């Protein structure tokens, strides 16, 4: 055999090859033990923290569902709040009011949000302006909702000298726009460029390509994104505090204060009346169910691999 | 790719079946005259105007994002002019809050906001990172989906619902069970003095921690997933234990992003309104005890705005709103930049 | 009937990369012209300049004259109008996933506002027959989605889609490279039939394919067109040494 300078020949008379350093030294053994102990410790900690987090959260959810379910009855959906001290009554005006305000905000927010998302995905690719818009939308998503309420109060309520469902709708709409913009952009980005090219190659103008090919292909994901934004905004209380303001009675006019489910939950929770507390729980359950439906739908959709999730 | 033989110069004869198809398929119209289709398409416009209008409309909507931010900024500055003129920057360093005499100072609210947010972060961050590590590295595949689904669900629960739970469950626990225990064992620190009605800084911090935990955890998990597998494998190949692999292969690379996730959680905590308002006691005092009531920037606005009489009162509250707006914008911008730096290239999730 | 294309001093860039350098070429009407050359030599860029698809890329730029018939496609017409006259089949089949087979084939017409149901029906049938796909799908036209067909069928459907708008020129960018041999031979037969009615330009990596279907062949190398001549000449007696090297497999 040619001389290999790196090969230390085994000691004579030894049939086994011993490594040059003593891996069995006490120090090394202790170190290895320590490392494995640390490894196990960390595993325990990670599992423990998950348990600490998950179990109480499940408990909260279960408690909410339980309290809400026991408080929920048909009257909840059909009656407006009874005078204090009298049993019965419901939050029907809150549900309808929420519906009206949410309808308004969707009407205003969804088209603008989708259009902004279309701009980012179809027209702005690579342009610095698009990057700035994207970043600003993300940052806007983190602004406290009460600030939106303040701003719309100053713009609409002060000018009109009264609270209104319309103002509530605007406040929620400006909250929806950044969220929907980002989810729309993400969904449009999943549309393969090859089918856009196919349409353009056929002589279809760009605007028609965007509408009939890009948007149509990404439609299910975009709709899901809108649903999520809707669910998020449906539970918002702070922006409505000084815009829609709340109303103890039926109200269908856009220019008057209007009841909203989260608002009523807040007011009733802080009140000293048991009957109102019961209504607050029931209202919370309705909200949670709606949100669970939206999140579950997104999950199902994500399982088909198209949407990358949004909260 | 060499040719084996001379290419045949003349095309091969074709099967008759195909020829007949094509013969049938001749476009309508006599020889030399364009078909119906060609004529139709020639008369169609090129869509230039429609394209420009459409693109312009989309651009306008895209710019609306800027418009929203600028509008909020402008109107908040405009409506807080009174208070800005009267108190100047010292507004945020003074401890007064007396609507009757018109004396306003926002220091208690800043204290309350910072105290609850930082305490909430201290409680939430270790747990959130633990959950993220568990979900991304240690969790058996079957459990992954339900647990992350649960986390998403909990992130979506409205603030007011958390507040409701806190008022009827957390407050009694704090008052009757947790509070006395804390006082008994940790009273010597001086942080647990005074009357414990259940509502106060600590309770608010706990509910805040519960609320920001899902978002920190899920962003951290995204960031950890964005670290390429090759990094993990390299460390494992050197004989590392699993924790060492996580520590050096994943967390070290994801450090910046995790800091970003934490700051995002902070941003969320700073602006959280409803749940905090319901359990913090709403009293503008600065105190050392965690049992004491407090007040945050967002809570004071939520509580007092609709009853605010007088222009100065309103203006002071709007100035607080302006401060909240600017602070959360800055905090979020920093956080997003950090998160983006790590996940660049991988599609972002909307949080 | 097809129309001839005349290219003079065509230069194209992607950003700062000078992808096509001074291309001059005459593509005769009603013939099939093959473009061969190694990967990255600019063949795809060239055909994309012929129907103004090159400029859909924001960093792309082109100068020169491309005359189709008697109009300069860059100066005398809008891109959309040109693309209705010059059809394109891409390397990978790209059917519209949300549309049925019928809607896919008719998309060039429907998305441009054409409504006449009778003419659409007839056009779809005619195009699918031209693409030799009619027999396989005629019962599922509106039931199956365009994306549910096999790869070879999808590509033939894309050819049918391109034919449905009755173009004068058909550009094919390596149409069979992603397909199995059976589908490939079907498509080659197709091209062979179609060239009597359309002017066909086909980009291909496969020299035997070029030899089988095209009357003329152009050899591209590093953004320049090295030689353009009848297929027979190119493959038996090329003028340029580089052409000969490529043909005989010294590179590429």
Across the interface, whether the CB atoms of B127 and A53 are under 8 A apart is answered yes
Which site among C125, C170, C193, C237 would you substitute to test the B interface, given the most B Cβ atoms closer than 10 Å to its Cβ? C193
Write down the pLDDT at residue A311: 29
Residue A198 lies in a domain: yes
Dihedral-angle region of residue C106 (phi above 0 means left; psi in -120 to 50 means alpha; beta otherwise): alpha
- Domain that residue C13 falls in: 5-247
Range name among B223-227, B259-263, B322-326 with the lowest pLDDT average: B223-227
Sheet holding C216-221: strands in order across?
A: C86-89, C169-173, C199-203, C32-36, C216-221, C224-230
Residue C118 lies in a domain: yes
| C positions 37-56 inside 8 Å of A (CB) | 51, 53, 56
Across the interface, whether the CB atoms of B214 and A311 are under 8 A apart is answered yes
Cβ contacts (< 8 Å) between B5 and chain C: which residues? none
pLDDT band at A236 (very low <50, low <70, confident <90, very high): very high
Interface confidence: ipTM more than 0.95: no
Across the interface, whether the CB atoms of A197 and C56 are under 8 A apart is answered yes
Q: Is the pLDDT of residue B2 over 50?
A: no
Cβ contacts (< 8 Å) between B24 and chain C: which residues? 126, 129
Q: What is the pLDDT of residues B53-102, one digit of tens each?
A: 999 999 999 999 999 999 999 999 998 888 888 888 778 888 878 877 77
pLDDT band at C99 (very low <50, low <70, confident <90, very high): very high
Write down the pLDDT at residue B337: 87
Please count the CA atoms within 13 angstroms of the CA of A213 that sit on its side-chain side: 30
Q: What is the pLDDT of residues A125-141, one digit of tens each?
A: 888 999 999 999 999 99
What one-character DSSP code corresponds to residue A80?
Answer: P
Find the mean pLDDT for residues C20-40. 90
Q: Is the pLDDT of residue B351 over 60?
A: no
pLDDT band at C2 (very low <50, low <70, confident <90, very high): confident
A159 close to A243: Cβ distance less than 8 angstroms? no
Cβ contacts (< 8 Å) between A194 and chain C: which residues? 90, 92, 94
For C190, the closest chain B residue by CA position comes to B18
Q: Is the pLDDT of residue B18 over 80?
A: no
Backbone angles phi, psi at C10, to 5 degrees: -80, 125
> For chain A, what is the domain count?
1
> For chain B, what is the domain count?
1
Dihedral-angle region of residue B345 (phi above 0 means left; psi in -120 to 50 means alpha; beta otherwise): left
Across the interface, whether the CB atoms of C189 and B48 are under 8 A apart is answered no
Across the interface, whether the CB atoms of A43 and B243 are under 8 A apart is answered yes
Using alpha carbons only, what angle is made at residue C90 by residues C89 and C96, rounded to the nearest 5 degrees?
A: 85
pLDDT band at A309 (very low <50, low <70, confident <90, very high): very low
Across the interface, whether the CB atoms of A194 and C51 are under 8 A apart is answered no
Find the mean pLDDT for residues B189-201. 82
Distance from CA of B213 to the nearest CA of A (A): 9
Cβ contacts (< 8 Å) between B43 and chain C: which residues? none
Across the interface, whether the CB atoms of C96 and A202 are under 8 A apart is answered no
Distances from the Cα of A163 to the Cα of A246, A258, A265, B298, C30, angstroms: 9, 8, 19, 20, 73
Across the interface, whether the CB atoms of B274 and A238 are under 8 A apart is answered yes
pLDDT band at B29 (very low <50, low <70, confident <90, very high): very low
C76 CB within 8 Å of a chain B CB? no
Q: Is the pLDDT of residue C201 over 80?
A: yes
pLDDT band at B124 (very low <50, low <70, confident <90, very high): very high
With CA atoms as reference, report the closest residue to A310 among B218, B336, B131: B218
Find the mean pLDDT for residues C70-90. 90
Chains that touch C (3 or more CB pairs under 8 A): A, B
Total Cβ atoms within 10 A of residue C119: 17
Distances from the Cα of B206 to the Cα of A138, A229, B35, B182, B286, angstroms: 27, 27, 75, 14, 19
Highest mean pLDDT among A2-16, B129-143, B181-195, B272-286: B272-286
Across the interface, whether the CB atoms of A203 and C53 are under 8 A apart is answered no
Distances from the Cα of B135 to the Cα of A60, B61, B128, B340, angstroms: 21, 38, 10, 21
Range name among A285-289, B27-31, B153-157 with the lowest pLDDT average: B27-31
pLDDT band at B133 (very low <50, low <70, confident <90, very high): confident
Q: How big is chain B by its Cα radius of gyration, in Å?
A: 32
Write the CATH number for A188: 1.10.3720.10
The closest CB to that of B328, out of A118, A143, A205, belongs to: A143
Which structure tokens are listed for B292?
């004491």
The closest CB to that of B35, out of C114, C166, C189, belongs to: C166
B121 close to B269: Cβ distance less than 8 angstroms? yes
CA gap B297, B325 in Å, rounded:
11
Across the interface, whether the CB atoms of A194 and C53 are under 8 A apart is answered no
The rounded mean pLDDT for chain C is 89
Across the interface, whether the CB atoms of C165 and B15 are under 8 A apart is answered no
- Taking one residue from A and the other from C, the number of pairs with CB-CB distance under 8 angstroms is 69
Q: Is the pLDDT of residue B33 over 60?
A: no
B345 close to A155: Cβ distance less than 8 angstroms? no
What percent of chain B is predicted at pLDDT more than 90? Answer: 32
- Domain that residue B92 falls in: 80-343
With CA atoms as reference, report the closest residue to B113 among B201, B34, B9: B201
Q: Output A301 or A185, whichever has higher pLDDT.
A: A185
Distance from CA of B51 to the nearest CA of C (A): 11
C224 close to C22: Cβ distance less than 8 angstroms? yes
Total Cβ atoms within 10 A of residue A31: 11
C211 CB within 8 Å of a chain B CB? yes
With CA atoms as reference, report the closest residue to C34 among C183, C151, C205, C242: C205
> For chain C, what is the domain count?
1
Chains that touch A (3 or more CB pairs under 8 A): B, C
CA gap A172, C92 in Å, rounded:
44
Residue A239 lies in a domain: yes
Across the interface, whether the CB atoms of A147 and B324 are under 8 A apart is answered yes
For C50, the closest chain A residue by CA position comes to A201
| B positions 23-42 inside 8 Å of C (CB) | 24-27, 31-32, 35-38, 40-42
B214 close to B264: Cβ distance less than 8 angstroms? no
Residue B36 lies in a domain: no
Beta-carbon contacts of residue A309 (< 8 Å; ≥ 6 apart)? A298, A302, B152, B349
C111 CB within 8 Å of a chain A CB? yes
Across the interface, whether the CB atoms of B78 and A208 are under 8 A apart is answered no
- Residue B256: Cβ-neighbour burial (10 angstroms; 0-12, 13-18, 19+): middle
CA gap C190, C177 in Å, rounded:
15
B134 close to B150: Cβ distance less than 8 angstroms? no
- Residue A41: Cβ-neighbour burial (10 angstroms; 0-12, 13-18, 19+): exposed
Q: What is the pLDDT of residues A215-228, one digit of tens each?
A: 999 998 899 889 88
Q: What is the pLDDT of residues A152-174, one digit of tens each?
A: 998 888 888 888 889 999 999 99
Q: Are strands C216-221 and C224-230 parallel, antiparallel or unpaired?
A: antiparallel
For A206, the closest chain C residue by CA position comes to C80
For C132-196, the DSSP string reads T-HHHHTTSTTTSBGGGS-HHHHHHHHHHHHHHT--SEEEEESTTTTS-HHHHHHHHHHHHHHTT
CA gap A146, B275 in Å, rounded:
13
Range name among A8-12, A34-38, C36-40, C238-242 with the lowest pLDDT average: A8-12
Write down the pLDDT at residue A2: 55
Using alpha carbons only, what angle is made at residue C164 by residues C162 and C168, rounded to the nearest 5 degrees?
A: 70
Distance from CA of A121 to the nearest CA of C (A): 13
Chains that touch B (3 or more CB pairs under 8 A): A, C
With CA atoms as reference, report the closest residue to A68 among A277, A216, A241, A244: A277
Across the interface, whether the CB atoms of C53 and A197 are under 8 A apart is answered yes
Write down the pLDDT at residue A89: 76
Across the interface, whether the CB atoms of A299 and B149 are under 8 A apart is answered yes
Across the interface, whether the CB atoms of A63 and B302 are under 8 A apart is answered no
Cβ contacts (< 8 Å) between C105 and chain A: which residues? none
The closest CB to that of A291, out of B58, B76, B156, belongs to: B156
The rounded mean pLDDT for chain A is 85
Q: What is the pLDDT of residues C120-179, one digit of tens each?
A: 999 999 999 888 888 888 888 888 888 888 888 899 999 999 999 989 999 999 988 888
Residue C98 lies in a domain: yes
Total Cβ atoms within 10 A of residue A164: 23
Containing B341, the helix (H) or strand (E) segment is helix B311-343
Across the interface, whether the CB atoms of A205 and B50 are under 8 A apart is answered yes
Write down the pLDDT at residue B115: 92
The closest CB to that of C92, out of A126, A194, A216, belongs to: A194
pLDDT band at B21 (very low <50, low <70, confident <90, very high): very low
With CA atoms as reference, report the closest residue to A281 among A16, A57, A76, A112: A76
Write the CATH number for C173: 3.40.50.300
Write down the pLDDT at residue A210: 94
- Taking one residue from A and the other from B, the number of pairs with CB-CB distance under 8 angstroms is 293
Burial B218-230 (b: 16+ CB within 10 A, else e): bbbbbbbbbbeee
pLDDT band at C10 (very low <50, low <70, confident <90, very high): very high
- Domain that residue A97 falls in: 90-275
Residue C24 lies in a domain: yes
Across the interface, whether the CB atoms of C109 and B19 are under 8 A apart is answered no
Write down the pLDDT at residue A19: 58
- Taking one residue from B and the other from C, the number of pairs with CB-CB distance under 8 angstroms is 95
Q: What is the pLDDT of residues A59-68, one digit of tens each?
A: 888 888 888 8
Residue A203 lies in a domain: yes
First-to-last CA distance in chain A? 67
């Amino acid at each position: 055999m040619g001389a290999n300078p790196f090969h230390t020949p085994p000691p004579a008379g030894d049939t086994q090859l011993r490594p040059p350093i003593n891996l069995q030294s006490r120090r090394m053994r202790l170190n290895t033990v320590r490392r494995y102990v640390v490894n196990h410790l960390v595993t325990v900690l990670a599992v423990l923290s998950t348990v600490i987090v998950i179990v109480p959260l499940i408990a909260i959810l279960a408690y909410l569902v339980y309290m809400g379910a026991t408080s929920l009855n048909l009257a909840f959906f059909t009656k407006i709040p009874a005078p204090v001290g009298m049993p019965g009554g419901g939050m029907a005006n809150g549900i309808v009011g929420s519906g009206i305000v949410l309808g308004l905000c969707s009407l205003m927010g969804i088209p603008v949000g989708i259009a902004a998302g279309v701009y980012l995905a179809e027209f702005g690719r690579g342009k610095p302006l698009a990057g700035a818009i994207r970043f600003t939308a993300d940052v806007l998503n983190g602004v406290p909702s009460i600030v939106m309420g303040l701003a719309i109060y100053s713009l609409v309520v002060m000018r009109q000298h009264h609270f209104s469902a319309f103002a509530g709708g605007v406040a929620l709409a400006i909250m929806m726009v950044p969220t929907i913009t980002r989810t729309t952009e993400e969904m449009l980005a999943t549309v393969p460029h090859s089918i856009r090219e196919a349409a353009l190659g056929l002589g279809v103008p760009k605007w028609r390509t965007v509408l009939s090919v890009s948007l149509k292909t990404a439609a299910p994901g975009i709709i899901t994104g809108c649903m999520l934004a809707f669910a998020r905004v449906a539970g918002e209380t702070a922006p409505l505090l000084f815009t829609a303001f709340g109303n103890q009675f039926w109200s269908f006019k856009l220019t008057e204060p209007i009841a909203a489910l989260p608002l009523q939950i807040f007011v009733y929770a802080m009140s000293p009346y048991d009957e109102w507390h019961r209504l607050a729980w029931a209202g919370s359950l309705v909200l949670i169910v709606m949100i669970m439906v939206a999140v579950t739908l997104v999950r199902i959709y994500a399982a088909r691999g198209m949407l990358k999730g949004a909260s | 790719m060499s040719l084996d033989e001379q290419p045949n110069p003349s095309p091969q004869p074709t099967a008759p079946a195909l020829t007949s198809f094509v013969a049938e398929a001749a476009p309508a119209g006599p020889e030399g005259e364009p078909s119906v289709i060609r004529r139709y398409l020639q008369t169609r416009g090129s869509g230039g105007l429609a394209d420009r209008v459409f693109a312009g409309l989309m651009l306008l909507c895209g710019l609306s994002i800027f418009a929203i931010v600028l509008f909020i900024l402008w109107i908040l500055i405009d409506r807080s002019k009174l208070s800005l003129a009267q108190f100047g920057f010292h507004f945020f360093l003074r401890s007064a809050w007396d609507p009757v005499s018109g004396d306003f100072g926002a220091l208690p609210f800043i204290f309350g906001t910072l105290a609850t947010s930082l305490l909430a972060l201290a409680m939430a961050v270790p747990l959130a990172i633990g959950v993220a590590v568990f979900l991304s590295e240690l969790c058996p595949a079957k459990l992954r989906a339900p647990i992350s689904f649960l986390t998403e669900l909990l992130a979506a629960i409205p603030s007011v619902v958390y507040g409701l739970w806190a008022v009827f469950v957390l407050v009694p626990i704090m008052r009757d069970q947790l509070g006395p225990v804390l006082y008994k064992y940790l009273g010597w620190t001086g942080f647990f003095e005074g009357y414990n009605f259940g509502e106060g800084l600590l309770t608010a911090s706990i509910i805040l921690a519960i609320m920001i935990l899902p978002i920190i955890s899920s962003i951290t998990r995204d960031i950890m997933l964005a670290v390429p597998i090759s990094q993990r494998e390299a460390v494992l190949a050197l004989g590392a234990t699993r924790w060492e692999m996580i520590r050096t292969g994943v967390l070290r690379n994801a450090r910046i992003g995790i800091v970003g996730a934490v700051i995002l959680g902070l941003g969320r905590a700073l602006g959280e309104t409803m749940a905090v308002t319901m359990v913090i006691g709403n009293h503008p005092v600065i105190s050392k005890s965690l049992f004491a009531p407090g007040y945050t920037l967002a809570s004071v606005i939520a509580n007092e705005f609709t009853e605010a009489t007088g222009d100065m009162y309103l203006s002071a509250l709007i100035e607080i709103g302006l401060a909240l707006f600017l602070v959360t914008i800055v905090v979020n911008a920093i956080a997003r930049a950090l998160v983006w730096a790590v996940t660049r290239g991988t599609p972002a999730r909307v949080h | 009937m097809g129309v001839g294309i005349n290219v003079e001093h065509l230069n194209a860039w992607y950003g700062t990369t000078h992808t096509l350098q001074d291309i001059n070429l005459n593509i005769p009407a009603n013939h099939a012209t093959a473009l061969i050359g190694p990967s990255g030599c600019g063949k795809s860029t060239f055909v994309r300049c012929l129907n103004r698809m090159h400029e859909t890329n924001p960093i792309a730029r082109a100068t020169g004259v491309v005359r189709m018939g008697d109009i300069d496609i860059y100066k005398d017409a809008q891109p959309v109008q040109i693309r209705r006259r010059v059809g394109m089949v891409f390397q990978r089949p790209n059917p519209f996933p949300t549309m049925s087979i019928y809607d896919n084939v008719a998309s060039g017409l429907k998305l441009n506002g054409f409504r006449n149901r009778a003419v659409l029906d007839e056009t779809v049938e005619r195009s699918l027959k031209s693409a030799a796909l009619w027999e396989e799908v005629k019962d599922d036209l509106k039931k199956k989605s365009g994306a549910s067909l096999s790869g070879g069928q999808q590509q033939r459907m894309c050819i049918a889609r391109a034919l449905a708008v009755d173009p004068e020129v058909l550009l094919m960018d390596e149409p069979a490279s992603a397909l199995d041999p059976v589908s490939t031979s079907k498509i080659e037969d197709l091209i062979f039939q179609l060239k009597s009615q359309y002017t066909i330009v086909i980009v291909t990596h496969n020299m035997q394919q070029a030899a089988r279907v095209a009357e003329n062949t152009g050899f591209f190398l590093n953004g320049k067109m090295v030689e353009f001549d009848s297929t027979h000449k190119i493959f038996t007696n090329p003028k340029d040494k580089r052409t000969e090297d490529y043909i005989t497999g010294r590179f590429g």
